[in-house]
Structure 1
Amino acid sequence: MNLPTLPAFTLPAPLARIASRLPQKPPAWILTLALNVGLDRIVPRDSMEALTGRHLRLRVLDAGLSLDFTYGASGFTPRTATGQPDLTLSANLRDYIALALREEDADTLFFGRRLRMEGDTDLGLLVKNTLDAVDWETIQRDLMPATLIERFRAKLSHPRRQVA
């Protein structure tokens, strides 16, 4: 499936000023929800063991956001931004989207100084290798509106039976 190429952009400064003043917990909650959707279906939990209990931070530079989260038995969860994170990934929103769409890979962004990793190097390599192993085409196909609508219709037509 060929999607149009993502244009180069940076969030406008007025939007970034607003985003940076908002609470960081709601976007962190959305991020962890999205990551948890991919667990087991996209990335097996056993490959995530090294992340258990680690403090991760995703910084969206042009939006002024810092999203702190951790991984545990129940998957990814937001966490408070206290203390130094074990690993911080920093990039602009456009670069994160390009990474997710597989228009760019982590190595290209890293060596082009558009993605920064700070902290535990081994943990950074684990995250990079996990991103490289993800089948992004399947994710894109599964998240297309027509696919989501079809799944929703299937659930409506075959509701789960309730046991009395």
Structure 2
Amino acid sequence: MNPTLNLGLRPLPPRMPGWLAPVHRRAADLVERLPPQPPSALFALALNRWLLPRLPDDARQALQGRVVGLTVRDFGLRVRLRLGPTGFGASGGGDEPALRIEATSEAFWQLARGDADPDRLFFDRRLVMEGDTELGLVLKNTLDAIGPGWLPWR
């Protein structure tokens, strides 16, 4: 892990302690029932701050107006984002995502830190992408080209 991490974020343990699993499951059940707008709005703010300034024009054009849905399996967290003229924003619940990306928190964390190859996670079925495959490739290639340096803790 990068020693410059200064956000209080720590990687999740590889395996959750047995006593914590029921608590985690109940919390995940609750989160699954929540609407995706609040976490989507927070995630959009973070992307506007750290990713948008580094996003190349071709990627902006490909993402413009398209809904991307992210699901963190083990937390039941759903995020739906759309890139508009002023930046990323939360997408309404009725909008069908052009691309859906689903993984565990551990897999997303490994991707964000640059510790895991997205292709390997995909072929190991730890990362699922559904929908517009061309948009998925644009997003993957853009994030690969930018690298994890766009993240505030890198």
**TM-score between the two structures when normalised by the length of structure 1:** 0.75
**Structure 1: distance between partners of 2:118 and 2:153:** 22
Equivalent residue in structure 2 for 1:107, among 119, 125, 139: 119
**Structure 1: distance between partners of 2:95 and 2:39:** 19
- The ranges of structure 1 where at least 4 consecutive aligned residues each deviate by more than 2 angstroms after the TM superposition are 1-7, 9-12, 42-47
Q: How many residues align?
A: 141
For structure 2, list consecutive stretches of 5 or more residues without a partner in the other structure.
4-9
Pairwise CA distance, 1:45? 4.2
User: 1:75/1:117 Cα in 2 relative to 1: closer, same or farther (>3 Å)?
Assistant: same
Give CA-to-partner distance per residue, 1:123-146, whole Å, 9 cap, x none. Answer: 01011111111231x345x437xx
Q: RMSD value over aligned CA atoms? A: 2.3
**Structure 2: distance between partners of 1:18 and 1:105:** 31
For structure 1, list consecutive stretches of 5 or more residues without a partner in the other structure.
145-164
Which is higher, the Rg of structure 1 or of structure 2? 1
Instruction: Give the AA of the match of 1:86.
Output: A
**TM-score between the two structures when normalised by the length of structure 2:** 0.80
- Secondary structure of 2:120's partner? helix
Pairwise CA distance, 1:100? 0.4
1:77 aligns with 2:89: yes
Q: Which structure has the higher relative contact order (CA within 8 Å, separation 6+)?
A: 2
Contact 1:53 1:70 in 2 (8 A): yes
Pairwise CA distance, 1:104? 0.9
Matches within 5 A, 1:59-70: 59-70=71-82
Equivalent residue in structure 2 for 1:143, among 121, 131, 153: 153
- Secondary structure of 1:8's partner? coil
**Structure 2: distance between partners of 1:120 and 1:17:** 29
Instruction: Give the AA of the match of 2:25.
Output: A
